[in-house]
Amino acid sequence: MRRPVPKTLAVVDLGSNAVRLQVASAQPDGTLEVRAEDRAAVRLGAQVFRTGRLSSESISGCAGALVRFAKLAQTAGATHVRAVATSAVREASNRDELLRAARSRAGIDVEVISGAEEARLVCLGVFQGTSASDRSLLIDIGGGSTEIISAHGEEPEHAFRIPC
């Protein structure tokens, strides 16, 4: 009997200090096999938290990293890329410039996620491959904020943000 071909996906996290890529394949037993990883310190939040705007240097650096990530994801066999942006991009008044650069230069559509979605994804990442049935308190220390998440099982119940 033929085993199903694993679905290979790439995820990109545009954080306040760094942009990260991970490409992984879902295995038949439900585990993930990491096929590629990369990171670029583009410091998207460096100006945002002082001026409310992304600097042109950080936009250009991020777009360049995304071009590299797109090539790496394709080489690793990714059939889909999900890119999410958090605090720095969410708070930037000129975030559309970054979103356009990502799309035009790298062919990547970046989704600016809410704090609630960020909390949900943190829970999924922390509890991936485990069975969380009790209550948990998670602390996500980022470059632009710290999120405190109260979870029941794998689902966040409450989350609040402390700006850095």
Domain boundaries, the chain: 1-113, 114-164
CATH number of the 1-113 domain: 3.30.420.40
Please tell me the distance from the alpha carbon of residue 44 to that of residue 159, in angstroms, as a whole number. Answer: 23
- In the chain, what percentage of residues exceed pLDDT 90? 59
Find the mean pLDDT for residues 135-163: 76
Find the mean pLDDT for residues 39-66: 95
pLDDT value at position 26?
A: 85
What would the pLDDT profile of 81-133 be if each residue is shown by its tens digit?
Answer: 999 999 899 999 999 999 999 999 999 999 999 877 877 777 777 777 666 66
36, with CB counted inside 10 A (0-12, 13-18, 19+), is middle
**Residues contacting residue 38 through CB under 8 Å, at least 6 positions apart:** 20, 21, 65, 68, 69, 72
Kindly report the pTM of this predicted structure.
0.84
Q: Mean pLDDT over all residues of the chain?
A: 87
More confident residue, 121 or 23: 23
Given a cut of 90, is residue 12 above it in pLDDT? yes
